[in-house]
Chains A and B, each alone.
Chain A
Amino acid sequence: MRDHLVFYLNGCRQQVGDSRALLTLAEFLRQEQGLTGTKVVCAEGDCGACAVLMGRPEATSQEDGDLVYRAIDSCVALLFQLDGCHVVTVEGLACGGKLSPVQQAMVDCHGSQCGFCTPGFVTTLHGLVETQSHHEPLTSVGGGLSAEALRYALSGNLCRCTGYQQIIEAGESINLATTPRLAELYPDPKLKSELFATVKDDVALAPQNGASPWQVFAPSSLEAALEWRAKHPQAKIVSGATDVGVQRNHGKLELAEVLVLNRIGELTEISVTDGVLHLGAGATWTAVEEAVRELLPEYHAVLTRFGSPQIRNFGTIGGNFVNASPIADSLPLHFVLDAELELASMRGVRRVPITEFYRGYKQIDLAPDELLVGIRTPLPVENERVKLYKISKRRDMDISTVTAAIAVTLEGKTISRARIALGGVGPVVLRMPAVEEFLTDAELTADTMREAGKLARQAIKPLTDVRGSGDYRLQLVENLLAKSYFDLQEVSAGSAPLPR
């Protein structure tokens, strides 16, 4: 058991055992380290100005492998989540007074104007460069970064001045072959070996002299987590903190007693067995996104618009499911595929159908000693077509106004089975039994789906809020079902039958 956090910052070892562990990473950088290059604008993970690079051993890394560096939003990352990480800020990228090729490209191409968002763009661009050595290249033929890859990777960084075009041009001009990766910028073997060695430790933090009471437990195993959880049923559970951090920054949540799950390797596993997709609750959205690219292209498409790349790099599927937002982009698919949630405690493991897990607005079927450990989702069968919708004001980095999942199993032109789930129209994601019943044994025609839309409209009473009026949501639901007639044709035409 360790009583302090160990992490590295721009190559320097840091050890924190006091209440600074409760700061956000951005606060620690700016207030404690004087690293003011990292800017905080929104403090809610919605602009990317505070993006930094976080390197850590991932489940996929070998013992002797490299750290995997990804951009995260430091404004909502809490220091106590960073044990075993190497954090690299914008100050840590220039080498010996020489700008990194990414920085130089931003200078040469007029990628900055006022400069306030620039550090976030620079770090995120470096994060994109990092992925080129770890994953399928997103690069264009010329060996540089394509505009498409850049848009995708930078969709979590807002800029108000440039109109982005010159940032894209800067990205395109980066020569990947001559841009050093972070492992080359920080070759110190001690850094890596020490961080890899931290993985097995449980970390327990508490005040030395009992000042204001707080405690943080960051175990490395599920067993330790469950044991601690049983004794601390009031503790706040933090996984990716991408919502907890926001609430904390807005003064809506005081973090005092915290169970941190993001160091538990066994919770990050993703597998497919007998046509069932198993997603470990601790898997980051980036990991899920990569896993479903071929398996569930519709889901993959929605996930590329979920939060932002920085949020997906740190936020977890378990945290998202337990957060129980009725407008979570992630949920409708699992509702129509009749997913089950695995809940564990020292008493054992139980499975709950997802449709029963959510009992009311932000109310879930989770006992005080339980943790969500995984999601089991049967994949679509061969003649089943699934269409997902996310309607938001802005395409990317926006919270949904309405979400919908429509799954129909077809025997010829006849719908033998239909499942429909809607988000953003009630306190929880809703299945539409009346509509499903109407569609069962009906022929898939434009008229049928228009009629289904009218039925769905009658089944919901959506609220008016900042994202849209109730009337707008009603019209959307009606129209989405009508439109799905056309899109369901395309799902079958555009992609191979989904694997079972």
Chain B
Amino acid sequence: MPTVGQKLPHDSARGHVTGEALYIEDLPATVGELWVECVGSPVAAGRIAAIDVEAARRAPGVVGVFTARDLPGRNHFGPIFHDEPFLADDEVSYIGQPVVVIAAESRAAARKAAKLVKIEVVEQPALLSIDAAIAAKSWLGPLKKIARGDFDAALASAPHQLSGVFESGGQEQFYFESQAALAIPGEFGQMRVISSTQNPTETQSVVAEALGVGMHEVICECKRMGGGFGGKETQSSIPAALAALVARHTGRAARIVYGKTADMCVTGKRHAYKSWWKVAFDDEGRLLGLSVECYSNGGAFADLSTSVMERTLFHLDNAYYLPAAHVTGQACRTNLPPNTAFRGFGGPQGVAVIESILQEIAEKLGLDALDVRRRNLYRDGDETCNTTHYGQVVRDHVLAETLSELEKSSDYRLRMALIEEFNARHPTLVKGLALTAIKFGISFTTKFLNQGNALVNVFMDGTVQVSTGGTEMGQGLNTKIRQLVADEFGLEIERVLMLTTSTEKSINTSPTAASAGTDLNGAAALEACKQIKERMVAYAADVFAAQNKLPRDPAQVRFAENFVSDARLADPAARIPFGEFCGRARRERVDLGARGFFATPNIHFDFEAGRGNPFFYYTTGAAVCEVTIDRFTGEMTFDRADVLMDIGQQINPGVDRGQVIGGFIQGVGWVTNEELRYDDRGALLSNGPTTYKIPNITDLPPVFNVNFIDNPKHTINVGRSKAVGEPPLMLGIAVWCAAKHALSFMGADQSSGSRSLRIPATGEELLRCISAMPTPVADCTLGP
């Protein structure tokens, strides 16, 4: 029985629930292993005047203290621009930027010694905010632009215009397993690095550069991560390089595991954005033109900021047709840790802008916001409104059907009426309801990254090993690929084992990111299976022909239920058990191993012209959310969510549902209570779970419906599935729009109140909006 489409448990679930699943910190120590601690810059900007490590060097248990001058290789790395030093040697650019590395016999000894390091810095003024960076013209990379039509003309002739400034805060990935790596020195300067990374190839490459060796002398492995969410796409290579540095100099294994607070303080996050927008629209709320200038807080180094900004510009339309558009984006260089990938990768910051604008258009025109959104939806097959502002045709989707089905299943109209009634009479509470959509482009916008490779080994007993370039961070990639491979050979799932991801098995890989893990690596694994099966089929055709005196016909060979069979033979006894078949094939010198490769077809984009087809396809969906806000305190409760997504044919409905719910709730966290607060020196104050509040189980809405919509039009991609990792995160924006909707009942004046709401809508932010209203709540007459 095929496993694809079945809700099989997560590949590692048994290890998760018993504690047997090992993460970096759990790996048994080898004799002489060292703990590594990093000492960072005490200030956000300045020049290092002196580094005093003598006291640390003499501290008990300390084996080595290292600085930039101890790096054998280059002291610069970075995924796009090579602008970031491993260890600062002159200029420091953010608080906590690594300067000194300590290696000691124990973690406690390393931590004590770290406190003895003195780094003297001649401090310089720090740029912390987007506004400050704009004023100083402090940029990372060039301005990006996409335009279509004549926006100015559209604005001038439109019946209605609105403009505003939209701000969204950053977000901490908050993976549970902090950044971690274990470096094990090999012979002749070779290095094996076990890393909690979404990007083994990048880690391999960065470690090689730091050590001044070739990539062939470094192996990077990743069995699993305790969460990644983008935070381990590039930044995991820093701890890996630091551990490798220690291992190189001491000849001993070296392990680094960031403490939670340190991790939060020194690693990059989702970018905060500030965007100035203008929109033109008609009496029915149809968009006529949109202009947005986006600025992101990129932090001190480029990291992935320019790429993140590209995705923002690609998602300012979200699911809505923009007849005229002029959108620009600029990443700002500031003195915060370099911001990086986080699930959605710039998409959320774009989607939130247009969803907020549509909510405001509805409010201004006194229309229902769902009606306004529906009028603006991309319409499949309608050439007047099916092309994005960057020229890609949005095809084969079910956005209109999604909205209709959700409107019905969520009782949207009835509830809207009830809410209006409730809000008119309730003295202390106000409710809001909103539907938002998502259309998320699937593919890396950097074309070359859209490739995957996989190794499939079939053993002579009929069991199978699979290794791909994809990494497992909880998302169920390995579970899905295991199912795909098992079905390909017609095997029960237990006969297929997923191996640790290693640069020895899959080379020159892309990060497991952009929701494309299964698309790229699953397709590569199937390609490997195909090669092996071609050889097996050729051999099986010989065997069945000879044994049964039939004409040789490879087209009749079948792989099912752990057997190889010939479709022409009805007798079950004529089948060959897969294990026996493999043993025989080996004796006949049939190659039972293969490496598969996949490159996503039909994608291209011309960044100069701002035109092309950057995405293989889009994953779409919508959500309806209802909230209740306390008029006096700004406290918000999330009452109900109805989520509906098109993710094609599901490979594993249990895994996919988990991705949808988990992503959605992460998005809810971004727009509600996840608030990064810094002091005026640029130090993160909300630096642990005590002060940084990710969603709790009690923040789930009591009514929470998650469903999937069929899309027979989607016929491409592996198993006709769709990528699922990131898109649902952006449906969390529905909660924020519901809050904005609720506030609209409290302030008659559009110049304040709901229009000034920012992301995240914390209690404090909501109360700020409420208090800014013309009738602050403590003065308004309510109730009996």
Contacts and interface: CB of A to CB of B under 8 A. Distances in A.
Interface of A: 30, 34-39, 41-44, 46-47, 49, 89-91, 93-94, 99, 103-104, 106-119, 122, 147, 150-152, 154-155, 157-168, 250-251, 389, 391, 393-399, 401, 446, 450, 453-454, 465-469, 472, 475-476, 478-480, 482-483, 485-487
B633 A483 contact: yes
Contacts of A395: 635, 637, 696, 698-699
13 contacts: A34-B28, A47-B176, A90-B18, A103-B18, A110-B658, A112-B13, A116-B23, A118-B16, A151-B698, A446-B783, A454-B778, A472-B767, A486-B428
B677 interface: yes
A158 B690 CA distance: 12
Contact of A469 (B226, B658, B764, B781): B764
Interface in B1-44: 7, 9-10, 12-23, 25-26, 28
B693 A117 contact: no
Contacts of B7: 110
Interface residues of B, number: 88
B529 to A, nearest CB: 26
A455 to B, nearest CB: 12
Nearest to B663: A163
Given A107-B13, A114-B224, A394 B685 contact: no
A483 B654 CA distance: 44
Nearest to A476: B633
B778 A163 contact: no
A90 B25 CA distance: 17
Given A36-B19, A251-B111, A395-B698, 16 more contacts: A39-B23, A39-B176, A41-B260, A42-B688, A42-B689, A94-B18, A106-B17, A107-B10, A110-B9, A157-B697, A163-B666, A165-B661, A393-B693, A399-B690, A446-B781, A483-B428
B19 A35 contact: yes
Contact of B778 (A251, A393, A394, A478): A478
A391 B691 CA distance: 14
Interface of B: 7, 9-10, 12-23, 25-26, 28, 111, 115, 174-178, 224-229, 259-261, 427-428, 473-476, 630, 632-633, 635, 637, 654-655, 657-658, 661-666, 673, 675, 677, 685-686, 688-691, 693-700, 702, 704, 706, 762-764, 767-768, 771, 777-779, 781-784
A39 B176 CA distance: 9
A43 B687 CA distance: 13
A115 B700 contact: no
Nearest to B685: A466
A155 B778 contact: no
Interface-central residue, A114, A401, A478, by most chain B CB under 10 Å: A114
Nearest to B228: A114
Nearest to B472: A114
Given A112-B17, A160-B666, A163-B664, A394 B690 contact: no
Ranked nearest first, the 7 interchain pairs of A and B with the lowest CB-CB distance are A37-B19, A114-B474, A115-B16, A116-B226, A163-B665, A113-B474, A116-B176
A168 B665 CA distance: 14
A346 B174 CA distance: 49
Nearest to B689: A46
A453 B225 CA distance: 50
Contacts of B228: 114
Nearest to B178: A41
Contact of A115 (B15, B673, B694, B768): B15
Contact of A466 (B17, B474, B677): B677
Interface-central residue, A117, A167, A399, A469, by most chain B CB under 10 Å: A117
A400 B315 CA distance: 37
A162 B662 contact: yes
Given A391-B763, A486-B783, A36 B691 contact: no
Contacts of A398: 693
Nearest to A397: B696
Contacts of A397: 696
Contact of A168 (B19, B115, B655, B697): B697
A105 to B, nearest CB: 9
Contacts of B763: 391, 393, 401
Contact of A467 (B427, B428, B475, B691): B691
B684 to A, nearest CB: 9
A479 B662 CA distance: 35
Contacts of A482: 632, 777-778
A426 B777 CA distance: 24
